[in-house]
Structure 1
Amino acid sequence: MSEKVVLHYFNGRGKMESIRWLLAAAGVEFEEVFLTKREHYIKLLNDGALMFQQVPLVEIDGMQLVQSRAIMNYIAGKYNLYGKDLKERALIDMYTEGIIDLLDIIMLWTIETPENKQKQLSNIEQKAKERFLPVFEKGLANSDFLVGNQLSRADVHLLEATLTLQEIFPTILSTFPKIQAFQERMKALPRISKFLQPGSARKPPRDEDLIPTLKEVLSHYYK
């Protein structure tokens, strides 16, 4: 690439973290511009960079991409992480949408008020164990990858999601041996291993610390 990829978002996980994971898995270097003041957001609006007045925003290949799913679709397609044909892509999309649903539940929990946080924990654990993880365990029963015979975005997203779950529930994978083995294979990949090292662009799991910044930058949403 002639130009480095630039990410515009808050200094936390949120909707950008899965994009960071995907870029890291593809071996793509990127820079980050963190939104810390409302003026930063207003400038992006005035520059016409935010089609729907929302971040994340990713500058790549001369484009200003918004909407996290659209961004990830583009990255996956560009870097051969989207299967070999339309049928594989459909399966990858189904797995990916389920993983995003799970990550969204977790993301909402991280910014819950303290009185609601504990109540939501059991809901997350139950859904993970009963709705999501069995699907991935079955998908990995006879293959190293969720779809086909090569790494896809679904695998990258699954690693992110299961590691995130383990931050909250350390033993949650104890009855899912296929997923555990999958994690070890994925973590051994050089690009993934690099992203998991201290000092990488991977963000820590404390998005609640961002709430004051979110309220300042996106004050129109919090009126």
Structure 2
Amino acid sequence: MAEKVVLYYFNGRGKMESIRWLLTFAGVEFEEVFLTKREQYVELLKDGSLMFQQVPMVEIDGMKLIQTKAILNYIAEKYNLHGKDIKDRVMINMYSEGLTDLMEMIMMLPFTQDPKPKLENIETKAKERYLPVFEKVLCETVHLVGGKHSMADVLLAECTLMLEEKFPGILADFRNIKSFQGRMTENLFIKKFLQSGSKRKPQPDEHYVKTVMEVFDIKKIPFQ
């Protein structure tokens, strides 16, 4: 029996959410250890589990992995979601890192004192810099790379749903992306993941922010 994958993070989205999405799409069951107290984080530091003193951390295949992109790439390689060759992989990585950049802007909003101008900036960048890239690609194909599902497809589905939470109707001028999103959300694993009671996390609230700050011993909101 294979050892179960274990995720160490907060009970919220953050940088772990894309990992949850990718594991779910690959049909991989996982357990979660939620950090709720600083003592848990300190204990992980003491036992040497956290290279660079960071989470998320994922236990998989006898390893303790950190660094989100490294974790995503490992999962993508392991479950055949990283293309057929080096040229596919570099395209998948470029698309995925662009999507991660955009999602990280949204992730930082709860830790921002005045999120309104940042929201406006995110919406503008999404419409002018990021979404047009994917709309153009999806004019010609149903998948972003190599004619099959990849990590980039999974992250695009996650990202579009995050954007719609903040900016309803943002995909109105991106019909190919909206159609793509519809196809992805019909995937049996993703469909279940999007239902109430799944391991998908809700949008971060004040309790999530408070927990993160207490675990990391942050005294005030870090971003202006």
Pairing 1:196–2:194 present: yes
Which residue is 1:99 aligned to? 99
| Separation (CA, whole Å) in 2 of partners of 1:178 and 1:109 | 28
By how many angstroms is 1:138 displaced?
A: 0.6
Identity of matched residues, %? 61
Amino acid at match of 1:136: F
Number of residue pairs matched by the alignment: 220
What is the root-mean-square deviation in Å for CA atoms of aligned residues? 1.2
Gaps of at least 5 residues in structure 2 are none
| Separation (CA, whole Å) in 1 of partners of 2:108 and 2:7 | 22
Amino acid at match of 2:80: N
| Separation (CA, whole Å) in 2 of partners of 1:52 and 1:222 | 21
2:8 aligned counterpart, secondary structure: strand
| Residue 156 (structure 2) aligned to one of 141, 158, 167 | 158
| Separation (CA, whole Å) in 2 of partners of 1:88 and 1:222 | 44
Paired residues of 1:8 and 1:58 also in contact (CA < 8 A)? yes
Which residue is 1:7 aligned to? 7
Which residue is 2:131 aligned to? 133
Give structure 1 regions of 4+ aligned residues with deviation exceeding 4 angstroms.
Answer: none
1:82 aligned counterpart, secondary structure: coil
By how many angstroms is 1:104 displaced?
A: 0.8
Which residue is 1:39 aligned to? 39
Q: Deviations over 1:42-98 (max 9, x none)?
A: 111111100110100000001000011111110000000000100000100110010
By how many angstroms is 1:208 displaced?
A: 4.2
Amino acid at match of 1:154: A
1:52 aligned counterpart, secondary structure: helix
| Separation (CA, whole Å) in 2 of partners of 1:47 and 1:59 | 14
Which residue is 1:65 aligned to? 65
| Separation (CA, whole Å) in 1 of partners of 2:210 and 2:175 | 40
Amino acid at match of 2:56: P
Gaps of at least 5 residues in structure 1 are none
Q: 1:118 to 1:163 in 2, by over 3 A?
A: same
1:215 aligned counterpart, secondary structure: helix
Which residue is 1:17 aligned to? 17
Q: 1:207 to 1:156 in 2, by over 3 A?
A: farther
Q: TM-score, normalised by structure 1?
A: 0.96
